[in-house]
A and B are shown apart, each in its own frame.
Chain A
């Protein structure tokens, strides 16, 4: 295997809030190869969005990366100057957020926003920039007649298409998409997901797809990482995790999703609720909700172990 495009090692991101230190991302290690798409799955508050933001060093105050490294194409992003980091953002790593209305400038025509991005990043000729902008808009399914529209004139689905165009226009190596379809209806969501899959092939980019919806992740990602309470608890290729979930949390999560293709599925739920990350439980963080928890789980934290090549799990039942 060639050197990974992205190598996250022992990353810790804490929010130093007034009520205490929120350990949002607590010792996460992940690798991503070129052209690969990784799904980051977990429920609200598990740290998946913070992890995405931390890669781009965009964690909002009072959050801080307190330990670990994010090595992107040989560079440790956590050590770069703010100026160097700004050059990476957009041109090499781009982000698509959940809510396009807050990420687009409401006072600027969408075509101008795209052209400006190109010109800020070194495109000198305005006409060339405009041509490129029109071409990328057509790639995301928006005709040139929309070039002079303002964001509010577009529907939610179209705005998200513009966001994707903005992310792709500088041909980045990596796109991080944080719940890109959560604000959309299912029919529009399906359109955007299909679009992202096509563009991933066309632009040969790597993708980190962050979502609470494991079904959606299974459509887009090659591999996935399941997060719980600030940590990755299972990692592997999507097919094998669905076929044989190893971590009790992953297993329960899969059984809790309603599947319209099954005739008589009994839905399960996980007792209790996810812990407060100011004071996560000792030992394995899932132990208070785990049906298999032993005394050991209550005091000792399991290591992430590789059960089979490429299949990682953080649970004492496997080693």
Chain B
């Protein structure tokens, strides 16, 4: 297994959701409106790494994750996993991919069936994929419970989700994702609902499991401070598009896109003496239904020129693994 092998490649991926309208509006409307949630996103993820998609609410990061997990159908574009295009696989062909790609969601309350015991919930995927049943399933499940620190195992195996704390529930969700020994795990805001005193432990657990099982993570977060601790590469998303991709260290030391710079400057720092120059952005994120022409960031960009208003910038490589889509660069 080579370190530099690409496990996932996403090419020009798009997802447009039709805007819901009433019957009368539909009759009168000349054309359908679409929310362009993901609008031409390309990136590749190396095996064994942690690739983070970061951005604000509504930027399309979660939709991108769901597209990669094949939970929703893309409008166009390509998803290549382990060298094979999986964009349009269905049914039987998709099932082995489902085993290899697992997902961890943000809300551990909503992602566990309240009527299913924790042991059954974690062991269920083993049954679905015909890996183990009965006694064998129970043993594998208990092993996993122990691994994620849900001990005493007997107690947690029989417990219902409501009997667990938020942190314990998220451990259970992680256990369920990991029990199939997946190659690729999409973790969508896995710690945003976890209190700060427990957050580091959950992240540490995720990183330990990555080493033990050789998992690759697609990490999705709005929290760049958290992203900094786990990621090898961070991609910044704005209004359905990637604006910058960089190795983690470089993104923080040399943020290049004006949006990345503003985003970093807005993060509160636990240091009351830090008098940081905050880059104030004008207004708010525009609607993804009619995104601005040219560079999507231009209405809020302090450096926007006439060119930015009409021409969309290409993603260009400005350093090793560091890509930026901005007319100011190059």
A268 within 8 A of B: yes
Say how far A228's CB is from chain B's closest CB, in angstroms: 10
- A242: which of B200, B204, B228, B271 is its contact (CB, 8 Å)? B271
Check if B278 sits within 8 Å of A190, measured CB to CB: yes
Contact of B167 among A157, A190, A214, A273 (CB under 8 A): A273
Question: Are the CB atoms of A212 and B270 closer together than 8 Å?
Answer: no
Tell me which residues across on chain B come within 8 A of A190, comparing CB atoms.
265-266, 268, 278, 280
Which residues of chain A are near B263, meaning CB under 8 Å?
Answer: 186-187
| Number of chain B residues whose Cβ lies closer than 8 Å to a Cβ of chain A | 41
Q: Which residue of A lies closest to B259 (CB)?
A: A187
A183–chain B nearest beta-carbon distance, Å: 9
Contact B266 A260 (CB under 8 A): no
Nearest chain A CB to B158's CB is how many angstroms away?
A: 20
Cα distance A194–B195 in the bound complex, in angstroms: 25
A290 at the interface (CB under 8 A from B): no
Residue of B nearest to A263 (CB): B249
Number of A-B contacts (CB under 8 A): 112
* B197 and A187 form a contact (CB under 8 A): no
CA distance A193 to B265 in the complex (A): 13
The winner among A157, A216, A258, A259 for most chain B CB atoms within 10 A is A258
Contact B278 A257 (CB under 8 A): no
Cβ of B281 and Cβ of A259 under 8 Å apart?
Answer: no
A260 touches B224 (CB 8 A): yes
The reply to whether the CB of A71 lies closer than 8 angstroms to some CB of chain B is no
- Residues of the B chain whose Cβ atoms lie less than 8 Å from the Cβ of A256: 196-197, 199-200
B196 to A260, Cβ gap below 8 A? Answer: no
**Chain A residues numbered 231-289 whose CB sits less than 8 Å from any CB in chain B:** 238-239, 242, 252-254, 256-261, 265, 267-271, 273-274
Interface string of B160-177 (1 = CB under 8 A from A): 000001111000000000
Given A186-B267, A257-B270; 13 other pairs, CB 8 A cutoff: A185-B56, A186-B263, A188-B284, A190-B280, A191-B281, A218-B271, A242-B272, A253-B197, A256-B199, A258-B223, A267-B199, A273-B167, A274-B195
* 3 residue pairs, one from A and one from B, having the closest CB atoms: A215-B268, A267-B200, A258-B225
